[in-house]
Structure 1
Amino acid sequence: MKTRYKIILVVLILCFLGGIAVWLYDECKIDSFEIDGIEMQTDGRMMYTPDDIRDKLGRGGLNELAPVIYFNSKFKKHVTIPFIDSYSVELKGLSGIKVHLYPSAIIGCTKFMGYYMYFDGDGMVVDSSLSLIEGIPVVGGLHCDSIVLYEEMPVSNKGIFNEIKALTMKIEKYKLPVLGFDFDDNHQVTLVMKNGSEIFLGRKDNYDTELAVLNSLLKSYSVKSYIDLSRYDGSKASIVASPMEDEETGNPDEPLQQEEEGTEGEMEENVTDTGESDENVTDNETAVENEQ
């Protein structure tokens, strides 16, 4: 009898513990998942959504429980998330999670083997992608024979990354529409603008004076232009600018207004030609009537 009671007692305890486990699983199942710390954007949207981060941290099984996600972030190796340097997890109640994301300090990228390789201020390659992230300048002229993810870029002049960082900060400060910039063999800098214009800055200790006036200067040119600011001293006479040739026609670009005027002229000629054709038709009809 005692053995029977013991078995019943054990079964009851197991059922009780099982009930508690089911209750805890239901109570701790994630029903609130938030993220913050994302500032970089691509294509007009956030780089990561809460669902994206949830997928990175794991789904299914115990990963559906908020305390498990929190425990893993504290005592296990963090998962690798592209463009994210680190993250921390905050437990909000039994079923809420908030993930704080700390983006990598990307200052630029370079094109290599069809990929955009993103690097930080120390020249460390922090990530790569097939598409370009808006707002990250593309840097040319680094001359790397090989680039390895999570390793320092093998450039001969390590100080170039300080210059890239300074340029990037100024570009962000003045909100310049820069797509990227190139370094030539003499370490001279040329900015490539989003409209295709090129701004030659030359080689200087800093480019504050030139970049500070660049936005207003670009408004003075309605066509894609090559602008030489290497000798800029604050005067208009020190600015050398010329329209760039169109890649398809090989001719210098013309202002849009002139192109529209040419189109209107062609339309007027067509109308005149049409009027002459109508006169010819009238003459033919008169000739037919006379013959009759």
Structure 2
Amino acid sequence: MPSTPPFIPTPLNVTDQMNRRVAVPLPPQRIVSLVPSQTELLFDLGLGSRVVGLTKFCIHPKEARSQATVIGGTKNFHFERIAELKPDLIIGNKEENYQAGIEQLAAQYPVWMSDIFTLDDSLRMMRQVGLLTGRSAQAEALAAEVARSFAELPPVAEPVSAAYFIWRQPYMVAAAGTFIDDLLPRAGFRNVFADRGRYPEIGADELARAAPQVILLSSEPYPFAAKHVAEFQVICPQARIEIVDGELFSWYGSRLRHSAAYFQELRYRLGITG
């Protein structure tokens, strides 16, 4: 009796969000994710069993790192470990990963890259990842849920001026050209550093001159906590200092399902009205 021929995935030629052409076997069976928010997305699309590798920062869902191999960080890959996993798809991101590492991987494996600046970019990423992995229906439902939750956020009468800090020593903020900057107005804020690019260092004098009504201290990547409030209060005595959930401002995968509701709660806490 003739043996059954091995399953050979059909390659799909796609363009990623960096306008790179990538030949992806359809459907991919062994996925390595180099970005925490996209790892969570893969699991929420029902692909957890296909995720064979992820980074040490991929903390959602909590079981992810116990069932997949940790391949290093987002900016320092263990290439030998990745090779042992024999991935047929690697998913990364332009900002969160590093060019030399991605180029080295792309020479051997299909590497699909996202490039996220806006909420619309994130919704396109979800749909494209769904197409790549054979989960288009699930991805479309997820993207529609996220889009609807933001559409239902009522506009505010007057956005509150704010500075969003991501780092300490030196102080660094999210400025123009970042995903955070796109979400801040949706949350009801006007970024006082919107005239600066990306993630600039900000001195105490510059912060005092900007005089934001609210200073938002993100829980990540720097773990701002209550003990840091006093130092900002000295710089801006009139400002309201608020510790915020950095994941809900910066993770551009399926965690966005919770962001709009969080922003509404934050508005209420700060007295920002429609």
TM-score range, shorter chain: under 0.3
Say which one has the larger Rg: 1
Which one has the bigger strand percentage? 1
Q: Which has the higher contact order (CA 8 A, sep 6+)?
A: 2
- With normalisation by structure 1, the TM-score equals 0.25
TM-score, normalized by length of structure 2?
0.26
